[in-house]
Amino acid sequence: MAGALDNLRVLDLSRVLAGPFATMMLADLGAEVTKVERPGHGDDTRGWGPPYDAGGEATYFLAANRNKRSVVLDLKDPADLAEVRRLALEADVVVENFRPGFLDGIGLGYDDLRAVNPRLVYCSISGFGRGAGAELPGYDMLVQALGGLMSITGEPDAEPQKVGVALVDVLAGLFATVGILAALRHRDASGAGQRVDIELLSSLLAALVNQASAFTAGGVVPARMGNMHPSIAPYEVMAARDGHLVIAVGNDRQFAHLCEIAGAPALAADDRFATNPARVGNRDALRAELEARLAERDADEWAELLTAARVPAGTINDLAGAFGLASGLGLEPTVTLRRDDGADVELVRNPIGLSETPPSYRLAPPRLPGSPAASGDDD
């Protein structure tokens, strides 16, 4: 079956996560992606382990590099640099996340390539832009800190917390993918390529959604609230008899059902809790009332009862439980790809569903060309 981006040639000059994640999204949709890696080491994430898969490959690298072919080229070598330039001039899309200005200095900048390939879509991903922030290092955790995400993550009286995954890189990769597709649509109509600029900081600020608008439109500086929601209650983790239960009530009807299942229907009519603003204003009292009832049953039992009453609730899965849930729901959360050496690698499925041009899984993440694993030499 044809892919939505068949015949699209992408040159991936990026490394680590944001850029590789974007190019993997394009590759899953059919694009032909060539990944340029540095001699000897390759993408930084090839060395980011443990954990490793059965073949000794860092699982971090595997997460963002399927459906690509890898070539090893040294940008300091004139012949290799000329080859990279050739690939760039033949590409429809170039994605890079070098320090701003570096590629301009070696003839691989946007203006250099556009002069010869005016249809080129050139996506640059940086931490803080090409201006005053060009020299700042764009690492995900640093951006989580400087961009405010850590200030709203964690318990109020504990230290600020990062999110448990490089979320800013993933968001930037998704924004990059959207920008590239929009630029390609413009090229289809006009014949002209363009530059796509993505910054990690801007990506994070945009993704803060209601927390950001609380500041920009309401003048409120949000703070850490643990697992509580600033605008909805009850929408948090609560204690049941044997462990934790998530309750995510979004409207008064759901709250009334929660109170009924919990054996306290009068709470729904209590002036302190009858409306969402009232519940937010009295969340401590509400939590005490609910946890007194929740202590009577185990979390799994509450989750089953509340779900049956259409109250959003559930226990907290580890990743094994999460993948098990998705499998049990028939969502087929993983795909298995076979390497050239016959070894299999299991990865997360692309979540995009397309009825006519679905994502495809053609290539396992590449071994680093020239490495013992790539050559089949196990000595």
Torsion angles phi and psi, residue 11, rounded to 5: -105, 120
State the pLDDT at residue 379. Answer: 40
Closest CA to 246 of 300, 327, 210: 300
* Chain segment 185-240, per-residue pLDDT in tens: 999 999 999 999 999 999 999 999 999 999 999 999 999 999 999 999 999 999 99
Domain coordinates in residue numbering, the chain? 9-207+355-375, 235-316
CA atoms of 185 and 94, how far apart (whole Å): 16
Q: Which residue pairs, CB below 8 angstroms and at least 24 apart, start in 142-145?
A: 143/168, 143/200, 143/201, 143/204, 144/168, 144/204
Alpha carbon distances (Å) from 4 to 32, 115, 308, 336: 12, 28, 39, 21
Specify the higher pLDDT residue, 378 or 285: 285
State the pLDDT at residue 370. Answer: 81
State the pLDDT at residue 203. Answer: 98
Residue 264 has pLDDT above 90, yes or no: yes
State the pLDDT at residue 221. Answer: 97
* Chain segment 267-282, per-residue pLDDT in tens: 999 999 999 999 999 9
Residue 256 has pLDDT above 60, yes or no: yes
pLDDT class of 283 with cuts at 50, 70, 90: very high
**Residue 54 contacts residue 343 (beta carbons within 8 Å):** yes
CA atoms of 308 and 328, how far apart (whole Å): 17
State the pLDDT at residue 340. Answer: 83
Question: Per CATH, the architecture of 235-316 is what?
Answer: 2-Layer Sandwich (3.30)
> Taking all residues of the chain, what is their mean pLDDT, rounded to a whole number?
95
Strands 68-72 and 32-37, bridge-based pairing? parallel
Residue 175 has pLDDT above 70, yes or no: yes
Query: Which residue reads 């999204």 in tokens?
Result: 25
Question: Residues with catalytic annotation?
Answer: 169
State the pLDDT at residue 113. Answer: 97
Torsion angles phi and psi, residue 10, rounded to 5: -120, 130
Residue 162 has pLDDT above 80, yes or no: yes
- DSSP characters for 76-133? TSHHHHHHHHHHHHH-SEEEE-SSTTTGGGGT-SHHHHHTT-TT-EEEEEESS-SSTT
Closest CA to 75 of 66, 90, 65, 88: 88
* Chain segment 284-338, per-residue pLDDT in tens: 999 999 999 999 999 999 999 999 999 999 999 999 999 999 999 999 999 999 9
State the pLDDT at residue 24. Answer: 98
9-207+355-375: which CATH number, 3.40.50.10540, 3.20.20.70, 3.40.640.10, 3.30.450.40?
3.40.50.10540
**Secondary structure class of 177 (helix, strand, coil):** helix
State the pLDDT at residue 378. Answer: 42
In one-letter notation, the amino acid at residue 237 is: V
* Chain segment 3-49, per-residue pLDDT in tens: 999 999 999 999 999 999 999 999 999 999 999 999 999 999 999 99
State the pLDDT at residue 376. Answer: 52
75: CB partners within 8 A, 6+ apart: 38, 81, 84, 106, 108
In the chain, what percentage of residues exceed pLDDT 90? Answer: 94
CA atoms of 303 and 352, how far apart (whole Å): 28
Q: Is 216 exposed, middle or buried (0-12, 13-18, 19+ CB in 10 A)?
A: exposed
Alpha carbon distances (Å) from 227 to 13, 43, 187, 275, 313: 39, 36, 45, 20, 14
Query: What value does the mean pLDDT take over residues 341-360?
Result: 95
In the chain, what percentage of residues exceed pLDDT 70? Answer: 98
The predicted model scores a pTM of 0.94
- DSSP characters for 18-61? HHHHHHHHHHHTT-EEEEEE-TTT-SGGGG--S-B-TTS-BHHH
Question: How many other C-beta atoms can be found within 10 angstroms of the C-beta atom of residue 57?
Answer: 23
Residue 377 has pLDDT above 90, yes or no: no
DSSP E strands: which ranges in the chain?
Answer: 9-13, 32-37, 68-72, 93-96, 121-126, 194-199, 235-239, 244-248, 313-314, 334-338, 344-348
